[in-house]
Amino acid sequence: MRALTSRLRKLVEKPLKRVIFHGNERFCPLCGKSSRRFLKFGKPSRQDAQCPHCGSLERHRLLWLFMSSKTDLLDGKPKKMLHVAPEPCLEKKFKELLGDRYLTADLFNPLAMIKMDISDIKYGDRSFDVIYCSHVLEHVPDDKKAMREFLRVLKDNGWAILLVPIFARKTIEDPAIVTPEERKRVFGQEDHVRLYGPDYIDRLREAGFTVETTMVNDLVQSDEAVRIGLTSASGEIYFCTKQTHVPLLKKQTTN
């Protein structure tokens, strides 16, 4: 009965959604659909944040714009990709592109293909062409070890995009802070173990990565950014390659 009720609800919601969000003021590059507006999301809630069709947030749409225009992801050549803590809106896209060479991993999510502690990755050196990990390292006690593990399993000519929220002037961490209440007070969330600042990029470089950063205005003009729903909440892209190799990043152009 519960399954039947769920199916009926979806049958009603789909045409209703088309009516409520019908319009061209907003566009999601991930699902390719237009809408009158994006949904609110977050606490406190952000306006124009979530695509009503695929559920993508600002950082997902920025990531896809970057990957599709500035990397070799779409060149048609086979690539093995590791996606940590997979977001549904991106997982579907990557599966279509990469097929069985696409691997999802998570320490706790049973829907991921494998269980993985990114501080101790059970794959050999140079296993992956692409690694994508977003908003995970702030949960990991030894993030520097995890970064070194990503470097180890990345192929010499591969690339990784390792994203974290940046909310501090300088990274704050204290292993003595262990209670959910105190972590929320200091780090902003009960299960965070640090609050990153712009010096996050130094950690990546110390681990052995060459890092290039890209922001919204490096990819689109301001009017297009509004239409796609890209704001300061989109963050920036940290494009990481091994220091001994030339980055695959295509030449940046500012519109």
The reply to whether 137 and 119 lie within a common domain is yes
Question: How confident is the model over 225-252, as pLDDT tens digits?
Answer: 999 999 888 899 999 999 765 555 554 4
Task: List helix spans (H) across 127-177.
Answer: 143-153
CATH of the domain at 143: 3.40.50.150
pLDDT reported for residue 43: 83
| Domain containing residue 122 | 57-242
The reply to whether 166 and 49 lie within a common domain is no
Closest by CA position to 150, among listed 78, 82, 64: 82
The reply to whether 158 and 46 lie within a common domain is no
Class of residue 97 by CB neighbours under 10 A (exposed 0-12, middle 13-18, buried 19+): middle
The reply to whether 189 and 96 lie within a common domain is yes
The reply to whether 180 and 62 lie within a common domain is yes
- 10-26 mean pLDDT: 64
Question: How confident is the model over 22-53, as pLDDT tens digits?
Answer: 788 999 999 999 999 999 998 888 989 999 99
- Written as six digits, the tokens of 202 are 């130094």
pLDDT reported for residue 254: 41
pLDDT reported for residue 70: 96
- Written as six digits, the tokens of 195 are 């609050």
Question: How confident is the model over 85-130, as pLDDT tens digits?
Answer: 999 999 999 999 999 999 999 999 999 999 999 999 999 999 999 9
Count of structural domains within the chain:
2
Q: What are residue 160's DSSP bridge partners? A: 131, 240
pLDDT for residue 11 is more than 60: no
* Contact (CB, 8 A) for 161 and 239: yes
Pairwise CA distance, residues 65 & 27, whole Å: 12
Q: Starting at the edge strand that comes first in sequence, how are the strands of the sheet with 128-134 ordered?
A: 114-115, 102-106, 81-84, 128-134, 154-163, 237-242, 209-214
pLDDT reported for residue 12: 43
The reply to whether 214 and 140 lie within a common domain is yes
Q: How many CA atoms lie within 13 A of 50 on its CB side?
A: 12
Closest by CA position to 43, among listed 174, 233, 235, 196: 233
The reply to whether 144 and 114 lie within a common domain is yes
> Is 156 within a domain?
yes
> Is 250 within a domain?
no
What is the reported pTM?
0.88
> Is 254 within a domain?
no
Locus of tokens 């062409």: 129
Going by pLDDT thresholds of 50, 70 and 90, the confidence category of residue 20 is: low
Pairing mode of beta strands 237-242, 154-163: antiparallel
